C-alpha cells in the first residue's frame, strides 16, 4: 500500500444498511507474535488484511518463518533457527506492535536486537512497562537510538506487578510466561479484548491460564510447544465503534453486525444518555467460542452533550481507542462535550483537526478539549495525521460534511481498517480510494456507490 493514497469523499448523505464488523487488528498482531512460541504450524483464520498485519508478516518472513495465505487464512511455520541478521528493519519500524515479538523471541535466543518501534505519533509512549514486566522473568532490555537490545542468562517463572495496566505489556508478560515451567502471576493486568484473545490462543496451545477477564492472571507455562493449530481471529470492537460513530454523526440507520458487545457496553451507555437510539440483538459467539457478539441497529437521533467529561479507562472502562469517535459525535450533540484523553501526551491536540471541517473546539491542554455542538460540518481537504484513530475520526466527519472532501495520505488508516472503502460504499457512501498522482474523480451515481 502506497503512503500517498487519498480518500476522496462526497459527504452529507444519509447512509443505510448493514455492515459486518471486521476482525481485530490488535488481536491479530498479538496472535502473530504468539505464533513464534509454537514449533508447529499456526494457521490463523479470518485474518484482517491490513497494513499492520502486512508489516508483521514481512518481519516474520525476514526472521525465516514460512508464510502462506489461503484466502483470509494465514499459516506460519517458524524456522528451525531464527535469523536476526536478516530482520526487516523497515517493516518493523513502521509498527509499534514489533514490541510484542520480544516476549516470544526471548524463548528462542538469549541475545538479540530488534528495531525501534514506530506506528502512531502520539508523543512520548514509554516502553518502560514492558521493560519492567519482562525483567522479572530475567530479561534485560536496553533501548538504543534505533533498536532494542534484549538479553538474558536464563528465564524463570515470576510474579509480575505491572506498573501500568497496558494491553501490550500484559501480552508481553503472557508470552514470556507461556513457555516457562512453573507458575507465573501477572497482577494489574489488562483485561482488554486483545489480551483475552491471546489467552484463548495460549490455552489452545496447552498453556494453563486462570483469571481471564480479570486483572490477575495465573499462568502455568509449557516448556515445549509443537503442534499444528488453527485459531480464528475475533471481531474488532473498535471497528464496530467506527460505524456506530458514523451512524450517530451522519444521522443514519445502520446495523452493525457481529459486534463484540462486552467491549462496547460502556460506550453505548454513554451514547444512550446522549440520546442515541439503538437496539441490540444477540448474535452468538465468534468462532473462537469466547467472544460474545451482537447486532447493533442504530437509528437517526437528535443528540445532546454528555453532562460529564468523557474519558478512557482500562477495561471494563471506555476504550481509549474509541475516545476520538466521541469527538466527532460531539459535533452533532447540542451543548458542550468535554473529552479528557489522559493516556497520550498530545492526542487531544489532534481533535482540533475537526475545526478544518467546521467544528467548534476549545483546547485546554494536550489532554483536554471541549467541543460545542451541534455544528453543520463543511467539506475540506486535510492531510491525514499519522494517528490511526484520528484518521478514522476524520473519515466519519467527512462523510457527514456536505460536499467533496479529500483526506490525503491514508496509509495510517489502512494499518487498522480492512476493506473500509467497499464497506462504506455498500452503505451508500460516495468514497473513492485514489493514488495521489491520479486525476481526482468521484463516483456520484448512487447505484454504483452501493456496488
DSSP per residue, 47-116: ----HHHHHHHHHHHHTT-EEEEETTEEEEE--SS--GGG--HHHHTT-GGGGGHHHHHTTT-SEEEEEP
pLDDT tens track of the chain, all 451 residues?
A: 445 799 999 999 999 999 999 999 999 999 999 999 999 999 999 999 999 999 999 999 999 999 999 999 999 999 989 989 999 999 998 887 898 999 999 999 999 999 887 544 444 446 788 888 999 999 999 888 888 899 999 999 999 999 989 999 999 999 999 999 999 999 999 999 999 999 999 999 999 999 999 999 999 999 999 999 999 999 999 999 999 999 999 999 999 999 999 999 999 999 999 999 999 999 999 999 989 999 999 999 999 999 999 999 999 999 999 999 999 999 999 999 999 999 888 889 999 999 999 999 999 999 999 999 999 999 999 999 999 999 999 999 999 999 999 999 999 999 999 999 999 999 999 999 998 776 665 554 444 444 4
Task: Kindly report the number of other CB atoms within 10 A of residue 281's CB atom.
Answer: 12
408 SS3 class: strand
CA dihedral 255, 284, 317, 419 (to 10 degrees): -50
Cβ 339 vs Cβ 327: under 8 Å: yes
Looking at residue 378, what DSSP letter applies? B
Residues 6+ away with beta carbon under 8 Å from 102? 114, 130, 134, 139, 141, 148, 150, 172, 175
Residue 144 backbone class (left: φ over 0; alpha: ψ -120 to 50; beta: rest): beta
The residues, any chain, with a CB within 8 Å of residue 344's CB and separated by 6 or more, are: 122, 123, 125, 320, 367
Burial class (CB in 10 A: 0-12, 13-18, 19+), 229: middle
Q: Do domains 5-22+235-449 and 25-231 have the same CATH topology?
A: yes
Distances (CA, A) of 40 to 36, 83, 224, 288, 432: 9, 18, 11, 20, 42
Compute how many other C-beta atoms are within 10 angstroms of the C-beta atom of residue 343. Answer: 18
Residue 450: predicted pLDDT? 44
Confidence at residue 144, expressed as pLDDT on a 0 to 100 scale: 85
Determine the pLDDT at residue 442. Answer: 56
CATH superfamily of 5-22+235-449: Enolpyruvate transferase domain (3.65.10.10)
Torsion of the alpha carbons at 301, 304, 307 and 310, rounded to the nearest 10: 60
Domain residues of the chain, as ranges?
5-22+235-449, 25-231
> Residue 374, preceding bond cis, omega within 30 degrees?
yes
Domain 25-231 belongs in CATH node 3.40.50.1580: no
Grid cell in block for residue 122: 502520539
C-alpha dihedral (155, 161, 163, 167), degrees to nearest 10:
70
SS3 per residue for 216-261: EEEEECCCCCCCCEEEECCECHHHHHHHHHHHHHCCCEEEEEEEEH
Say what the pTM is: 0.94
- C-alpha cell at position 351: 481533535
Amino acid at each position: 500500500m502506497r503512503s500517498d493514497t487519498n480518500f476522496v469523499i462526497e459527504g452529507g448523505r444519509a447512509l443505510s444498511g448493514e455492515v459486518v464488523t471486521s476482525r481485530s487488528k490488535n488481536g491479530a498482531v498479538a496472535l502473530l507474535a504468539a505464533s513464534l512460541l509454537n514449533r508447529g504450524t499456526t494457521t490463523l483464520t479470518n485474518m484482517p488484511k491490513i497494513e499492520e498485519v502486512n508489516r508483521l508478516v514481512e518481519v516474520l518472513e525476514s526472521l525465516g518463518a514460512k508464510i502462506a495465505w489461503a484466502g483470509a487464512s494465514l499459516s506460519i511455520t517458524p524456522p528451525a533457527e531464527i535469523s536476526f541478521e536478516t530482520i526487516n528493519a523497515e517493516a518493523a519500524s513502521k509498527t509499534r506492535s514489533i514490541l510484542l515479538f520480544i516476549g516470544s523471541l526471548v524463548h528462542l535466543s538469549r541475545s538479540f536486537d530488534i528495531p525501534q518501534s514506530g506506528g502512531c505519533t502520539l508523543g512520548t509512549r514509554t516502553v518502560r512497562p514492558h521493560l519492567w514486566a519482562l525483567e522479572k522473568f530475567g530479561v534485560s532490555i536496553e533501548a538504543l537510538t534505533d533498536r532494542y537490545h534484549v538479553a538474558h542468562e536464563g528465564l524463570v517463572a515470576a510474579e509480575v506487578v505491572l506498573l501500568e495496566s497496558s494491553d501490550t505489556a500484559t501480552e508481553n508478560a503472557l508470552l514470556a510466561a507461556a513457555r516457562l515451567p512453573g507458575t507465573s502471576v501477572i497482577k494489574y493486568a489488562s483485561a482488554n479484548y486483545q489480551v483475552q484473545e491471546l489467552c484463548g490462543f495460549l490455552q489452545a496451545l496447552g498453556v494453563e491460564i486462570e483469571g481471564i477477564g480479570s486483572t490477575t492472571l495465573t499462568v502455568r507455562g509449557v516448556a515445549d510447544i509443537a503442534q499444528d493449530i488453527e485459531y480464528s481471529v475475533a471481531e474488532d470492537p473498535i471497528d464496530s465503534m467506527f460505524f456506530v460513530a458514523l451512524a450517530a454523526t451522519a444521522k443514519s440507520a445502520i446495523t452493525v453486525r457481529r459486534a463484540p458487545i462486552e467491549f462496547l457496553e460502556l460506550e453505548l451507555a454513554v451514547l444512550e444518555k446522549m440520546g442515541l437510539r439503538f437496539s441490540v440483538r444477540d448474535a452468538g459467539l465468534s468462532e473462537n467460542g469466547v467472544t460474545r457478539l451482537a447486532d447493533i441497529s442504530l437509528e437517526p437521533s437528535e443528540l445532546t452533550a454528555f453532562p460529564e467529561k468523557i474519558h478512557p479507562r482500562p477495561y471494563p472502562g471506555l476504550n481509549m481507542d474509541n475516545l476520538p469517535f466521541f469527538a466527532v459525535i460531539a459535533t452533532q450533540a447540542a451543548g458542550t462535550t468535554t473529552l479528557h484523553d489522559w493516556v497520550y501526551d498530545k492526542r487531544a491536540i489532534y481533535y482540533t483537526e475537526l475545526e478544518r471541517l467546521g467544528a467548534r473546539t476549545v483546547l485546554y491542554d494536550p489532554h483536554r478539549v471541549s467541543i460545542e455542538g451541534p455544528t453543520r460540518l463543511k467539506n475540506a481537504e486535510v492531510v491525514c495525521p499519522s494517528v490511526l484513530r484520528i484518521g478514522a475520526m476524520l473519515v466519519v466527519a467527512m462523510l457527514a460534511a456536505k460536499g467533496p472532501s479529500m483526506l490525503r495520505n491514508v496509509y495510517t488508516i489502512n494499518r487498522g481498517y480492512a476493506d473500509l472503502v467497499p464497506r462504506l460504499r455498500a452503505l451508500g457512501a460516495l468514497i473513492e480510494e485514489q493514488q495521489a498522482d491520479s486525476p481526482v474523480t468521484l463516483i456520484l451515481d448512487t447505484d454504483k456507490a452501493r456496488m
